[in-house]
Structure 1
Amino acid sequence: MNWEQLLSLKRFGDTHKRLRKEQNETRLGFEVDYDRIIFSSAFRSLQDKTQVIPLSKTDFVHTRLTHSLEVSVVGRSLGRLTGQKLLEKHPHLRDTFGYQMNDFGAIVAAAALAHDIGNPPFGHSGEKAIGEYFSHGNGKRFKDQLSEKEFQDLVKFEGNANGFKILTEHRPGIEGGLRLSYATLGAFTKYPKESLPHKPSRNIEDKKFGFFQSERDFFEEVAVELGLKKTREGKDIGYCRHPLAFLVEAADDICYTIIDFEDGINLGLIDEDYALEYLIKLVKDNINTSKYNGLTNTADRLAYLRSLAINTLIGEAAEIFLKNEDAILKGEFHESLFDKSSYEAQIKDIIKISIEKIYQSEEVISKEIAGYRMLSYLLDIYTKALLPENNDEDSNFTKLVLKSVPQLQHLQNNDSVYEKLIGICSYTASLTDGMTVASVKKYKGQSL
């Protein structure tokens, strides 16, 4: 793989090549990507989607929106720091093609901003609720009407693949979705493969999948334009990651490791003194002891350690990326950047505590159970409305359901069972936590 292709400014529908040196410096193409994402309704909906604590009413707990904004800021710094060194190593990118350090930062920031845009309500339990509706619930009835890969898209419903769908999906009057640059779409796609084969290797790019069958052809177009290296031949599609996807992943890893931990402290789920001790272990080589000891309260000490930890890990991730750049471009690097980190032990300790004290806390589990039931209920309502069984065909209730959800009405004209089902799942995933609760109450007649 080579950087000239990987930094492609091409967008869906382009009939001519976009050259970096011809870009308007007041509104660069990669910065347009960021703007289009942040003004999209899908991004705005993240303000009412779970990051750690579902349906939390606590002001200082992160939502998917605040998390995504923070990941984009970290990603921008990572991209710029890395881009500066890459241009020193490959000066022709600047001298011949016009690329600048900030281009790398803009691509990573935009991809990072969108990294959770396809996630369902109620966190990862939302993904499982959608998948298990088809593997163990009433959705099993559709299996014989779908190809093996189409059914796998549903039973292993994946927020990353749904994110690619949201960013690129054709809608009435809107061709190509947000029409982001192919470089940003490549950096966004952490798992550039389809749903089958499932985990064909232990390589990081095969851990999950990054696009549904409905977007397969377009993803291939993006991959060819970017020059991504294939990982398999024949009927199954798989590629090596776009190099900048490693930086997007690292930005996310930094934020959820440190900031979820901080949320746990603020919620009282993790003892303050105990937590500060673990953060100090992470930054002990960079801490200004006199400044730290001069802070008089826990909140200030926590904020200082958090900032220092994020800055430390940004530098570490950039260093690991640059050290392994050649292997990454050859498609020979198959793990996350922090798997190579000198801070791996400290990071794992913090994540272990977060799992025990936050992710498996009674509040999180009870809210996820409620969300699980609500999403299954809505999938039943929507599938019966769009794909009625014989005794439901004349149901006035199902007609009213479709009238209440304009986003599903255009699917009525689609003859494909798969397109209807993946459309239903994508719409259900687009609901916020609050919208999910309100929809269930409405259909149960409890909102009057």
Structure 2
Amino acid sequence: MNWEQLLSLKRYGDTNKRLRKEQDETRLGFEVDYDRIIFSSEFRGLQDKTQVVPLSKTDFVHTRLTHSLEVSVVGRSLGRRVGKLLLEKHPHLENVHGYRMNDFGAIVAAAALAHDIGNPPFGHSGEKAIGSYFKDGDGAQFKSLLTAKEYQDLCDFEGNANGFKILTEGRAGREGGLRLSYATLGAFTKYPKESLPKKPTMHIVDKKYGFFQSEKEMFKNVAAELGLESRSNEHLSYHRHPLAYLVEAADDICYTIIDFEDGINLGLIQEEYALEYLINLVRGKIKTKNYNALKTTEDRVSYLRALAIGTLIDEAALLFMKHEDAILAGKFETALLDVSQYKAQIKDIIDLSVTKVYCSKEVINKEIAGYEILNQLLNAYGKMAFNVFEDNCSNYDELLKNILPETVKLTNDSLYNNLLAVCLYISKLSDTNAMLLHQKLKGHIL
């Protein structure tokens, strides 16, 4: 893979190649990607979606929206840091092609901003709830009517693949979805493979999958434009866009440090534990006088959090450059922070977060409620999607169809597309709207 192709400004529908040196310096093509994402209705919907604690009424707990914004900020800094080093190593990218340090930051920032845009309500338990409906619930009846890969898309419903669908799916009067640059779409796709085979190797690319069968051809176009190299002759799988490693690192940094901070602010993690774990990560970088002047837990944690994030940004940038050749050759098989000198400290923080936050009764009880809500929604809409396919709609099915947005298209042509459209509709619901729709289906007048 080569950077000239990987930094493509092409968008869906373009017939001519866009050149970086032809761009308006006041609003670069990659920065347009960021703007299109942030003004999209799907991004706005993240403000009422779970990050760690579902349905929290506490102001300082992160939602998917605030988490995404913070990952984007970290991603921009990380992208610029790496961009500066790459241009020093490959000066022709600037001298011949006109790329700037900020271009790398803009690509990573936009992809990071969108990294959770496909996540359903109630956090990762929402993904599991959708998958369980098709694997173990009433949706299992559709298995014989789908191809193996179509069925696997649903059984392992994946927020990353759903995000690619949201970013690229055609809309009324506009093909290509948000029409983002292919460079940003490549950086967004951490797992550039289809759902089967499932985890064929231990390579980081095989951890999950990145596009549904419905977007298979679209991703093939993106991969061809970017020059992503194929990893298999038997199924659709590609080496990652190198900047996807930076998007992943930005997310890893934020959820490691900031989810930990949420646990502290919620009182789920005691201050003495928190300070000890963060100090272990930034030891030697604390200005003792400044730190000792801080009077509150929140201020002390905030100070250490900023140091920790800065430390890990520096570390991720250096690791990327150290392994750049292997990354471009598709031979780097782990996340950047998995080879960090701070790996042990990061693991300690995550382990404590898992024990004290992710497995807390508050989180688990609300995830159970979310699981039941999504299962009931899928029971109703899955049956309706099947009946539309069979041309056998009941009066109740017609009522359900009438409250769907106009963008949800159900036909008798493809059961897979119908089921995926229903999943997409439910995945876009906020936590609150999923609860309200559930109440309607149970017969409660709101």
* Distance (Å, rounded) in 1 between the aligned partners of 2:165 and 2:401: 22
Give 3-state SS (helix, strand or coil) of 2:410's partner.
Answer: helix
One of 401, 419, 430 as aligned partner of 1:421: 419
Equivalent AA in structure 2 for residue 436 of structure 1:
A
- RMSD between aligned residues: 1.3
Matching of residues 132-147 of structure 1 within 5 Å:
132-147=132-147
Equivalent AA in structure 2 for residue 113 of structure 1:
L
Indicate the residue corresponding to 1:164 in structure 2.
164
Render the CA deviation track for 1:140-180: whole Å, top value 9, x for unaligned: 11111100000000000000000000000012322100000
* Distance (Å, rounded) in 1 between the aligned partners of 2:222 and 2:384: 35
Matching of residues 104-143 of structure 1 within 5 Å:
104-143=104-143
Indicate the residue corresponding to 1:320 in structure 2.
319
Give 3-state SS (helix, strand or coil) of 1:406's partner.
Answer: coil
Q: Quick check: 1:379 aligned with 2:378?
A: yes
* Distance (Å, rounded) in 2 between the aligned partners of 1:391 and 1:194: 28
Matching of residues 81-230 of structure 1 within 5 Å:
81-230=81-230
Q: CA deviation at 1:389?
A: 8.7
* Distance (Å, rounded) in 1 between the aligned partners of 2:436 and 2:160: 26
* Distance (Å, rounded) in 1 between the aligned partners of 2:132 and 2:31: 38
Equivalent AA in structure 2 for residue 430 of structure 1:
K
Equivalent AA in structure 1 for residue 421 of structure 2:
G
Indicate the residue corresponding to 1:433 in structure 2.
431
* Distance (Å, rounded) in 1 between the aligned partners of 2:374 and 2:173: 29
Identity of aligned residues (%): 68
* Distance (Å, rounded) in 2 between the aligned partners of 1:394 and 1:185: 38
Equivalent AA in structure 2 for residue 166 of structure 1:
I
* Distance (Å, rounded) in 1 between the aligned partners of 2:269 and 2:143: 44
Render the CA deviation track for 1:398-436: whole Å, top value 9, x for unaligned: 111110112465223x51111111111111111110010
Render the CA deviation track for 1:112-156: whole Å, top value 9, x for unaligned: 000000001111110010001001111011111100000000000
Render the CA deviation track for 1:345-393: whole Å, top value 9, x for unaligned: 0000000000000000001111111111110111111122222299993
The answer to whether the 8 A contact 1:43-1:117 is kept is yes
Q: CA deviation at 1:296?
A: 1.9
The answer to whether the 8 A contact 2:67-2:254 is kept is yes
Gaps of 5+ in 1: none
Q: CA deviation at 1:295?
A: 1.4
Q: 1:394 to 1:84 in 2, by over 3 A?
A: closer
Equivalent AA in structure 2 for residue 153 of structure 1:
D
The answer to whether the 8 A contact 1:321-1:337 is kept is yes
Moved over 4 A (4+): 389-392
Matching of residues 56-71 of structure 1 within 5 Å:
56-71=56-71
The answer to whether the 8 A contact 2:94-2:100 is kept is yes
Q: CA deviation at 1:187?
A: 0.2
* Distance (Å, rounded) in 1 between the aligned partners of 2:338 and 2:143: 38
The answer to whether the 8 A contact 2:191-2:205 is kept is yes
* Distance (Å, rounded) in 1 between the aligned partners of 2:399 and 2:307: 54
Equivalent AA in structure 1 for residue 67 of structure 2:
H
The answer to whether the 8 A contact 1:133-1:140 is kept is yes
Q: Quick check: 1:250 aligned with 2:256?
A: no
Render the CA deviation track for 1:80-116: whole Å, top value 9, x for unaligned: 0000000000000000000000000000000000000
Between 315-324 and 387-396, report the one with greater CA deviation. Answer: 387-396
Q: Quick check: 1:289 aligned with 2:288?
A: yes
Indicate the residue corresponding to 2:362 in structure 1.
363
Q: 1:112 to 1:391 in 2, by over 3 A?
A: closer
The answer to whether the 8 A contact 1:402-1:409 is kept is no
* Distance (Å, rounded) in 2 between the aligned partners of 1:324 and 1:365: 39
Give 3-state SS (helix, strand or coil) of 1:98's partner.
Answer: coil
TM-score (norm 1): 0.98
* Distance (Å, rounded) in 2 between the aligned partners of 1:309 and 1:447: 49
Equivalent AA in structure 1 for residue 37 of structure 2:
I
Equivalent AA in structure 1 for residue 254 of structure 2:
C
* Distance (Å, rounded) in 2 between the aligned partners of 1:182 and 1:271: 45
Give 3-state SS (helix, strand or coil) of 1:261's partner.
Answer: helix
Equivalent AA in structure 1 for residue 147 of structure 2:
S
The answer to whether the 8 A contact 1:47-1:66 is kept is yes
Equivalent AA in structure 2 for residue 314 of structure 1:
I
Between 290-299 and 362-371, report the one with greater CA deviation. Answer: 290-299
Q: 1:156 to 1:338 in 2, by over 3 A?
A: same
Gaps of 5+ in 2: none
Q: 1:409 to 1:28 in 2, by over 3 A?
A: closer
The answer to whether the 8 A contact 1:33-1:181 is kept is yes
Matching of residues 223-242 of structure 1 within 5 Å:
223-234=223-234, 236-242=235-241
Alignment coverage as a number of residue pairs: 446
TM-score (norm 2): 0.98
Q: 1:92 to 1:362 in 2, by over 3 A?
A: same
Indicate the residue corresponding to 1:24 in structure 2.
24
The answer to whether the 8 A contact 2:408-2:425 is kept is no
Indicate the residue corresponding to 2:352 in structure 1.
353
Indicate the residue corresponding to 1:271 in structure 2.
270
